[in-house]
Amino acid sequence: MNLVKRNIFGDVLNWLDDHRILLIKGARRTGKTTLLGQIRTHLEQSGKPTVLFSADQELDTPYFKNPKLFFRFLSDQYLPKDGKLYCLIDECQYLPDASLFLKVIHDLSFGKIKFIVTGSSSLELLKIKEPLTGRKIEFTLERFSFREYLQAASEYRYDHLFKIPQDIQALKEFYEIYRKDLEYHLISYLKWGGYPEVCMEKRDERKRKYLREIIQTYIEKDVSQFFRIENISKFNSLIRLLCSQRACILNRSEISNTLGLHFKTLDHYLSILEGTFVITLVRPYYTNVRKELSKMPKVFINDAGIIGNYVVTELQDFKSVEGALIENFAFTQLKQHDDTELFYYRTVSKAEIDFVLKQDQCLIPIEVKFRKRLTIPAVMKNFISNYRDNVEYGIILCQEDFGQIGQVYVLPVVLTDFLVLA
């Protein structure tokens, strides 16, 4: 079994000398506890005083009842006379009034104790009575990206990244060498998704059992107990419907009528699904922010395994993969780009570009054309022309073609997670 080095590991280490709380968020079972253990090992090997707590398992201990008591306990037992203590807290959403707890211990221990914490739900951590503004740096630990999955599944080493357009020739050679292996493993990735324990398991029957158990635990713990949702049947039906409508524009009115859900209830359920990292709602790109917020978003499912658990997907071979599933895959990889925002673009006449990647003022239009005749859509040409001061190039992600047409690079979709854009 290969040890998978997570993409954000180095990013977190780069902030260890900063005084703010490092908050690592992510869905259940994405490997936050494992990552925290790796950070602890790194700190201990560097000679740093380190202590690790699991809030969900130690919640009944006296020192977790009050942040001042917790600070006193750390000072008595672990804080060195000289130097800094690194305090790691797993599942911090179980702390009483988590944001207030973290604020108080951070302020009490400023400069003496560095806190690194994980949390499974952004929603609970965002219900802030005392804001952590200026006191935290946030990271999101996603499920395995395709490159991370390949570390676990492939016999080859895939530590390559390619800047576009500078490395286009090297990318082409890479594709020629590894194409068959990439396509073979993408089928499995689309079937099972990126939950680490599912990816690391070799036997299909156990993969299936692990995946079902992960989703069942999410429904029972997060949805039923944590957020006190009583109508679990309707909630499950909403997930199933969204999985069947992946990569589509979200029509709240239609969904409300189909499921018999009140608009407020539907919005509440959607906020839970987004806050617990099950779905992402992608807004349309407008220079007018008011328009962006008022228009309907597209819905994407953050893991292909969730889709496979709720709806049947045909995955006999690479070329037969359904287009919306490929678009959803492209989204899950593109969303992990650092310091970027992801939108879609739609004209009044309903011509659409699947994604617009925005970094500062730079825009990259990206279209997924997996089984269509390969041409540059007029809407992309117009977008590049209309935003010429902000667009250097566009990208079409396709099945197997590789080339360039004007300002547009045509690239195989299996390469999406290997691209450095903007």
End-to-end, the C-alpha distance of the chain in Å comes to 35
Nearest 5°: CA angle at 262, between 296 and 126?
65
HSE-CB of 233 using CA atoms within 13 angstroms: 2
pLDDT at position 339 is 86
Please name which of 118, 59, 46, 50 lies closest in space to residue 94, comparing C-alpha atoms.
59
pLDDT at position 124 is 54
Domains of the chain: 9-140 (3.40.50.300), 146-420 (no CATH)
Cα gap 59→39, rounded to integer Å: 22
Strands, E assignment, 120-160: 136-140
pTM: 0.92
Cα gap 46→309, rounded to integer Å: 43
Please name which of 273, 267, 416, 251 lies closest in space to residue 335, comparing C-alpha atoms.
416
Sign of the four-CA dihedral 218, 138, 38, 20: negative
Cα gap 51→133, rounded to integer Å: 25
Sign of the four-CA dihedral 7, 8, 11, 13: negative
Element holding 149 (H helix, E strand) = helix 146-153
pLDDT at position 294 is 58
Cα gap 120→118, rounded to integer Å: 7
Which neighbouring-strand residues pair with 329?
none
Cα gap 78→231, rounded to integer Å: 46
Amino acid at 176: E
Q: Which residues contact 407 (CB under 8 A, 6 or more apart)?
A: 384, 391, 392, 393, 394
**Which residues of the chain have a pLDDT value below 50?**
125-126, 128-129
pLDDT at position 226 is 75
pLDDT at position 125 is 47
Please name which of 124, 159, 161, 120 lies closest in space to residue 143, comparing C-alpha atoms.
120
Residue matched to tokens 């690479």: 318
Report residue 344 as tokens.
């879609």
pLDDT for 68-96, tens place per residue?
999 999 999 999 988 899 999 999 988 88
Cα gap 41→47, rounded to integer Å: 10
